[in-house]
Amino acid sequence: MKTLRSLIVVLLALIWFLPTYLIVVNAFTPNDAYTGDVRWFPGGVAIFENMAAAWEAAQLGPSMLNSFAYAVVAGCLAVLVAAFAGFAVTAIPGGRRIFWFWLIYAGSLFPAQAFLRPLFTGYAESGLYDTGMGLLLIYVATCIPFSFFIMRNHMLTIPPEVAEAAQLDGANWWRVFTRFHLPLSRSALAAAFIFQFVWVWNELLFGITLSYSEQIRPVMAALAGLQSNYGTVGPPVVLAGALLVSLPTVVVFLAFQRVFASSLGGTRI
Q: Is the pLDDT of residue 199 over 70?
A: yes
Cα–Cα distance measured from residue 54 to residue 48, given in angstroms and rounded to the nearest whole number: 10
For the chain, what is the radius of gyration of the CA atoms? 22
Total residue length of the chain: 269
Q: What percent of the chain has pLDDT over 90?
A: 13
Please state the rounded mean pLDDT for residues 247-261. Answer: 76
Confidence of residue 266 (pLDDT cuts 50, 70, 90): very low
Residue among 58, 2, 54 nearest 31 (CA): 54
Specify the higher pLDDT residue, 74 or 249: 74
Helices 219-228 and 235-255: crossing angle, nearest 10°?
Answer: 160
Domains of the chain: 48-263 (1.10.3720.10)
For residue 253, the SS3 value is: helix
Q: Is the pLDDT of residue 268 over 50?
A: no
Confidence of residue 137 (pLDDT cuts 50, 70, 90): very high
Q: Is the pLDDT of residue 200 over 90?
A: yes
Q: Is the pLDDT of residue 267 over 50?
A: no
Please give the pLDDT value at position 228. 62
Cα–Cα distance measured from residue 15 to residue 52, given in angstroms and rounded to the nearest whole number: 30
Average pLDDT of every residue of the chain? 82
DSSP state at residue 180:
I
Q: Is 110 exposed, middle or buried (0-12, 13-18, 19+ CB in 10 A)?
A: exposed
Start-to-end Cα distance in the chain: 33
Q: Is the pLDDT of residue 139 over 90?
A: yes
Cα–Cα distance measured from residue 72 to residue 66, given in angstroms and rounded to the nearest whole number: 10
pTM: 0.82
Cα–Cα distance measured from residue 90 to residue 173, given in angstroms and rounded to the nearest whole number: 12
For residue 30, the SS3 value is: coil
Confidence of residue 230 (pLDDT cuts 50, 70, 90): very low
Please state the rounded mean pLDDT for residues 239-266. Answer: 74
- Which residue type sits at 108? S
Listed range (26-35, 113-122, 215-224, 246-255) with the worst mean pLDDT: 26-35
